C-alpha cells in the first residue's frame, strides 16, 4: 500500500512538472505569434492575440503576491528552470545596444567615436556588459557609462565634455523584413561626463 501511494505521488509530481513545462512553452509560442514575430498570416496573429489574453487572465501572476498558489507555482517554476521560456532557444534576434561617444572640444569642434577594443574577445565582453547594464535605468547603468566615458576622456585629453549615447538596434519583424524594412536605431539614454581637467572651480562665496 505504501509503495502504491509513493508511486502515485511521483506520478502526480511528474505530471504537474510536465504540465508546467507545457503551459510555459505554449504561452511563449502563442505570445510569439501574437507579437508578430513570425511570418504567419494576420488571421492567425489575431487569434493568437485573443488566446494570449485568455491565457494571461488565467495566469497565477494575476493573483495577489501574498497568494499561496501564486508563490508555490512561480517559486517551483523558478527553482526548476521552467521559467526560461521557449524563445530562449528560438531563432529570434533580440535588440542589441550600441554606444557612441559625442566628444566636445574647446574650439566647439564635435567628434564621434565608438568604444575601442583590442581584440574580438574584448569586444564580445564589452557588448555583453553594455547589453546587461545599459538597458534599464539605475546605478549600475550610470557606473558603467561613467567608466566608458572616462576611458574615452583618457583617449581625448583635450575634451571638455563627453556625452555617452545609448541606442538600441531594433530588427524588423519577419513580415516587415520581407517588404524590405531595414534595422533601425532607437534612442535609449544618454550620460554627460565632464573630465576633471575641464571642470571650472566654483568661485562663488
Quick one: 35 and 76 in the same domain?
A: yes
Which pTM was predicted? Answer: 0.49
Same domain, 49 and 123: no
Answer whether residue 130 is part of any domain: yes
Q: Are residues 102 and 62 in the same domain?
A: no
The whole-number pLDDT of residue 203 equals 39
In a domain, 172, yes or no: yes
Asked whether residue 145 is assigned to any structural domain, the reply reads: yes
* In a shared domain, residues 83 and 145: no
- Same domain? For 36 and 112 the reply is no
* pLDDT for the residue numbered 4: 64
Q: Are 165 and 158 in contact (CB under 8 A)?
A: no
User: Is residue 164 located within the same domain as residue 142?
Assistant: yes
Q: Does residue 108 share a domain with residue 71?
A: no
CB neighbours of residue 55 within 10 Å: 15
Summarised one tens digit per residue, pLDDT across range 45-65 is 889 889 988 888 888 888 888
Let me know whether 35 and 52 are in one domain. Answer: yes
Query: Rounded distance, CA 131 to CA 58, Å?
Result: 32
What integer pLDDT is reported at residue 129 of this predicted model?
81
Q: Which residue shows C-alpha cell 487572465?
A: 57
Most confident of 30-34, 79-83, 131-135: 30-34
Residue 88 confidence (pLDDT): 47
Number of domains in the chain: 2
Does residue 141 lie in a domain region? yes
Same domain, 104 and 185: yes
Give every CB contact of residue 123 below 8 A, 6+ residues apart in sequence: 117
Q: Give yes or no for residue 13 having a pLDDT over 70.
A: yes
pLDDT tens digit sequence for 153-205? 888 888 888 999 988 887 777 777 778 888 788 888 888 888 876 555 443 33
129 close to 66: Cβ distance less than 8 angstroms? no
Which among 114, 115, 106 has a CA at the least distance from the CA of 159? Answer: 106
Both 159 and 191 in a single domain?
yes
Range of the domain at 62: 2-88
Domain end position, chosen among 59, 88, 117: 88
pLDDT tens-digit profile of 73-131? Answer: 888 887 877 765 544 444 455 557 888 899 999 888 899 988 888 888 887 788 878 87
**Same domain (yes/no): 140, 51:** no
Q: Among 88, 111, 142, which residue terminates a domain? A: 88
Give dist(CA 160, CA 158) in Å, integer.
7
Question: What is the chain's mean pLDDT, rounded?
Answer: 79
Amino acid at each position: 500500500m505504501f509503495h502504491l501511494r509513493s508511486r502515485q505521488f511521483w506520478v502526480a509530481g511528474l505530471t504537474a512538472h510536465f504540465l508546467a513545462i507545457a503551459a510555459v512553452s505554449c504561452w511563449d509560442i502563442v505570445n510569439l505569434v501574437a507579437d508578430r514575430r513570425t511570418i504567419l498570416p494576420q488571421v492567425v496573429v489575431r487569434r493568437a492575440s485573443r488566446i494570449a489574453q485568455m491565457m494571461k487572465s488565467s495566469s497565477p501572476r494575476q493573483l495577489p503576491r501574498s497568494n499561496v498558489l501564486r508563490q508555490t507555482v512561480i517559486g517551483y517554476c523558478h527553482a526548476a528552470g521552467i521559467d526560461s521560456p521557449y524563445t530562449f532557444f528560438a531563432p529570434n534576434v533580440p535588440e542589441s545596444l550600441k554606444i557612441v561617444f559625442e566628444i566636445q572640444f574647446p574650439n566647439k569642434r564635435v567628434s564621434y567615436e565608438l568604444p575601442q577594443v583590442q581584440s574580438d574577445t574584448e569586444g564580445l565582453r564589452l557588448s555583453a556588459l553594455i547589453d546587461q547594464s545599459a538597458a534599464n535605468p539605475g546605478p549600475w547603468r550610470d557606473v558603467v557609462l561613467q567608466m566608458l566615458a572616462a576611458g574615452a576622456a583618457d583617449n581625448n585629453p583635450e575634451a571638455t565634455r563627453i556625452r555617452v549615447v545609448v541606442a538600441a538596434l531594433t530588427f524588423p519583424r519577419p513580415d516587415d523584413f520581407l517588404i524590405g524594412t531595414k534595422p533601425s536605431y532607437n534612442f535609449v539614454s544618454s550620460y554627460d561626463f565632464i573630465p576633471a581637467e575641464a571642470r571650472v572651480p566654483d568661485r562663488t562665496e
